[in-house]
């Protein structure tokens, strides 16, 4: 009897021992990725020069550019399973200050991401949350206190006739979304850098020609029709230059 019990117990231990030994190891958790977005500002494909260079738009207006500022928020990546990951960022970039033209976002998990999207502006919820901190602080001078909302894009310059240009585009209806296909790139690595080109000429043409001789040289409300015109033109203001 003792021999039978010993044989049975030995078989049980052998069975479970083999099962544990043959079980596949658990899959390691995806390592975190640092996503870096770099922005190169251009005008008709040439590096943007502030103050000292004259530019011409499709309407043949001649002007210089002294200031260009914009929000870039809600960077979102989507993988092959259509799972979306929003990095919930709110970054303010100034063409004048190169240090603000590189946005480093941490906490993303490695995956074969197939698309990237972001907003040039502030999403509806945060746009109406009131004064906030960081790049959303009113101290950045991009907050309309009278309108409880943010200026999404600011463009300043001077026409050749001496008239000033001051375009402040904001308002929920003028929020610009950008989206890019990443399926041809390998993004399953620990550090990814995406370089974008932002061509300011796109503010003034395609699909509509913006003519400073006819359209406003000053925009400071979200209801001006010229703001909607610029928003429509900005849909293709960005393109990917490289992914590394």
Domain ranges within the chain, ordered by starting residue: 33-243
Q: Which residues contact 139 (CB under 8 A, 6 or more apart)?
A: none
Mean pLDDT across the stretch 33-58? 97
For the entire predicted model, the pTM comes to 0.86
Tokens 């029709």 map to which residue? Answer: 225
How far from the centroid of its chain's Cα atoms is residue 127's Cα?
16
In this structure, the chain runs to a length of 244
**143 burial type by CB count under 10 A (0-12 exposed, 13-18 middle, 19+ buried):** buried
CB-based burial label for 147 (10 Å; 0-12, 13-18, 19+): middle
Distance CA(138)–CA(76), nearest Å, equals 25
Say what the pLDDT of residue 190 is.
86
Proportion of the chain above pLDDT 90, given as a percent: 79
**pLDDT beyond 70 at 22:** no
With a cut of 80, say whether residue 7 has pLDDT above it.
no
DSSP class of 143:
E
What would the DSSP string read from start to end of 64-117?
EEEEEEEEEEEEEEEETT--EEE---EEEEETT-GGGGEEEEEEEEP--EEEEE
Give, rounded to a whole angstrom, the gap between the first and last alpha carbons of the chain.
Answer: 70
pLDDT in tens, 208-228: 999 999 999 999 999 999 999
Report d(CA 68, CA 199) in Å as an integer.
11
Q: What does the mean pLDDT of the chain come to?
A: 89
Per residue in 110-152, pLDDT (tens digit) is: 888 999 999 999 999 999 998 799 999 999 999 998 777 999 9
Rounded distance between C-alpha atoms, residue 155 and residue 91, angstroms: 17
Q: Supply 99's token pair.
A: 């240090």
pLDDT 10s digits, 158-186: 999 999 999 999 999 999 999 999 999 98
Q: How far apart are CA 170 and CA 150, in angstroms?
A: 6
The percent of residues above 70 in pLDDT, for the chain, comes to 87
């Amino acid at each position: 009897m003792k021999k039978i019990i010993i044989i049975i117990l030995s078989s049980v231990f052998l069975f479970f021992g083999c099962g544990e030994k043959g079980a596949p190891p658990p899959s390691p958790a995806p390592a975190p990725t640092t996503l870096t977005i770099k922005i190169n500002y251009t005008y008709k494909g040439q590096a943007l020069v502030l103050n000292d260079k004259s530019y011409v738009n499709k309407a043949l207006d001649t002007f210089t550019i002294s200031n260009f500022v914009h929000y870039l928020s809600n960077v979102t990546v989507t993988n092959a399973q259509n799972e979306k990951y929003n990095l919930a960022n709110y970054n303010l970039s100034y063409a004048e200050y190169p240090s603000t033209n590189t946005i480093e976002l941490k906490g993303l998990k490695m995956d074969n991401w197939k698309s990237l999207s972001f907003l040039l502006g502030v999403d509806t919820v945060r746009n109406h949350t009131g004064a906030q901190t960081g790049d959303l602080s009113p101290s950045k001078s991009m907050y309309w206190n009278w309108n409880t909302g943010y200026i999404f894009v600011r463009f300043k310059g001077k026409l050749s006739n001496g008239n000033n240009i001051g375009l402040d585009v904001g308002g929920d209806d003028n929020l610009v979304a950008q989206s890019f296909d990443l399926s041809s790139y390998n993004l399953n690595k620990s550090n990814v850098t995406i370089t974008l080109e932002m061509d300011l000429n796109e503010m003034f043409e395609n699909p509509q020609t913006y003519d400073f001789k006819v359209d406003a040289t000053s925009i400071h409300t979200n209801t001006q029709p010229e703001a909607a015109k610029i928003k429509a033109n900005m849909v293709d203001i960005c393109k990917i230059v490289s992914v590394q």
